């Protein structure tokens, strides 16, 4: 427990210090955000705000794990970090193209999907080969496990991971939203890993708890920096990788409730638009923009969504009590 607390504190300090030096660099490089043409018009004022701020908590997490290297015995934490860094790299390439060409389109959807599927497949195969992934599907609350053929399980898991990562990415549309919603999720996974005796695995989410808190000082409205796809895809990678490393992917339905709602709002909006030939179910999607259009301030959206995320993490905790 002491090691987790120290790691979280170190993550907070490192993320804050890195942010202090990183922000001027991003400004000098003119790595500013281009605003979506279809987004709220008042977001145009945010154009030029430095992005790739996710490097703050990414580097902080890496340094924290390196600092604990001498005491780490379970290498699954490095598998989780490696997958997350791969997703973060995909996001970095996306951000790079956005910054270079000054438009809000980086890699194509197909390019990102193919890269994400590839790294997900490799990660799942490694976990399976290392006997970390059992291919038994644990169902929260009922404490029942279903055995699934490895090929079917891995194929299913690939789509779950890619969907989860992109759902987290969709959540990054309001100042402080993605980091605030993900913060209780990291607390949940750190506590779950610790209670399951996976002390080394708990270090990464613990470091990110501290890192995200410091990042929020820079990203709270009005944001001085955005995490970009670099940060949001990295966080999405951590969320889904931890769920599979702990061998309970269905918990993502609970801890990722806000991410799922955001994604469903987009799917429903597009489906309704096509079925009704131009009508909209929401004023704007993802749903956080709908609430913006309804007059909610960004701070209110962040607080409400983060509170829902925290509540669902508490529900998830009771759901996995039989596994702890």
Written as tens digits, the pLDDT of the chain (324 aa) is: 889 999 999 999 999 999 999 999 888 876 655 555 455 655 556 666 888 899 999 999 999 999 999 899 888 999 999 999 999 999 998 888 777 766 555 577 888 889 999 999 999 999 999 988 888 899 999 888 988 998 999 999 999 999 999 999 999 889 999 999 999 999 999 999 999 999 999 999 999 999 999 999 999 988 889 998 999 999 999 999 999 999 999 999 999 999 999 999 999 999 999 999 888 999 898 999 999 999 999 999 999 999 999 999 999 999 998 887
Give kind and range of the element (H or E) at residue 9. helix 2-28
Contact yes or no for 255/246 (Cβ under 8 A)? no
SS3 145: strand
Strands (E), the chain: 136-139, 144-147
* Distance from C-alpha of 303 to C-alpha of 250, rounded to nearest angstrom: 25
Please state, in angstroms and rounded to a whole number, the distance separating the CA atoms of residues 311 and 184. Answer: 9
Spell out the residues 6+ positions from residue 293 whose beta carbon is closer than 8 angstroms to its own. 40, 283, 284
User: How many residues does this entry show for the chain?
Assistant: 324
Name the helix (H) or strand (E) containing 263.
helix 257-275
Tokens of 34: 């281009």
Per the structure block, which two tokens stand in for 220? 């709270």
- The per-residue pLDDT for 13 is 97
**Inter-residue contact 316 to 258 (CB < 8 Å):** no
Q: Which residue has the tokens 């990722």?
A: 256
* DSSP code string of 83-116: HHHHHHHHHHHHHHHHHHHTSS--S-HHHHHHHH
Span between the terminal Cα atoms of the chain, in Å: 16
According to DSSP, the residues that pair with 139 across neighbouring strands are 144
Tokens 């154009």: give the residue: 47
For the chain, give every domain's residue range: 2-319
CB-based contact 138:250 (threshold 8 Å): yes
User: 70: Cβ–Cβ under 8 A, 6 or more apart, which residues?
Assistant: none
CA–CA dist 85, 316 (Å, integer):
26
Query: Which of 313, 258, 266, 315 minimizes the C-alpha distance to 289?
Result: 266
Integer Cα distance of 148 and 134 in angstroms: 9
**Tokens at residue 10, please?**
């170190």
What pLDDT does residue 34 have? 56
Q: What pLDDT was estimated at residue 33?
A: 57
């Amino acid at each position: 427990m002491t090691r987790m607390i120290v790691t979280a504190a170190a993550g907070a300090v490192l993320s804050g210090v890195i942010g202090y030096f990183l922000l001027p660099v991003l400004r000098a490089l003119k790595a500013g955000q281009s605003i979506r043409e279809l987004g709220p018009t008042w977001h145009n004022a945010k154009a030029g705000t430095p992005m790739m701020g996710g490097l703050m908590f990414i580097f902080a997490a890496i340094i924290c794990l390196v600092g604990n290297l001498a005491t780490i015995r379970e290498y699954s934490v490095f598998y989780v970090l490696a997958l997350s860094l791969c997703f973060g790299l995909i996001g970095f390439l996306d951000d790079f193209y956005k910054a270079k060409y000054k438009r809000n389109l980086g890699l194509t959807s197909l390019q990102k999907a193919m890269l994400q599927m590839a790294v997900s497949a490799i990660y799942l195969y490694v976990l399976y080969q290392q006997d970390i992934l059992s291919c038994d599907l644990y169902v929260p609350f009922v404490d029942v496990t279903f055995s699934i053929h490895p090929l079917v399980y891995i194929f299913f898991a690939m789509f779950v991971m890619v969907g989860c990562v992109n759902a987290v990415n969709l959540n990054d549309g309001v100042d402080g939203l993605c980091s605030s919603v993900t913060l209780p999720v990291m607390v949940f996974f750190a506590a779950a890993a610790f209670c399951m005796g996976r002390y080394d695995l708990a270090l990464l989410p613990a470091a990110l708890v501290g890192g995200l808190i410091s990042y929020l000082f820079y990203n709270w409205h009005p944001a001085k920096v955005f995490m970009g796809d670099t940060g949001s895809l990295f966080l999405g990678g951590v969320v889904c990788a931890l769920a599979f490393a702990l061998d309970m992917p269905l918990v993502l339905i609970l801890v990722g409730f806000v991410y799922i709602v955001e994604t469903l709002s987009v799917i429903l909006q597009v489906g309704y638009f096509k079925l009704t030939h131009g009508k909209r179910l929401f004023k704007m999607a993802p749903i956080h923009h709908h609430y913006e259009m309804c007059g909610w301030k960004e701070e209110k959206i962040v607080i409400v969504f983060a509170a829902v995320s925290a509540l669902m993490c508490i529900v998830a905790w009771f759901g996995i009590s039989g596994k702890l």
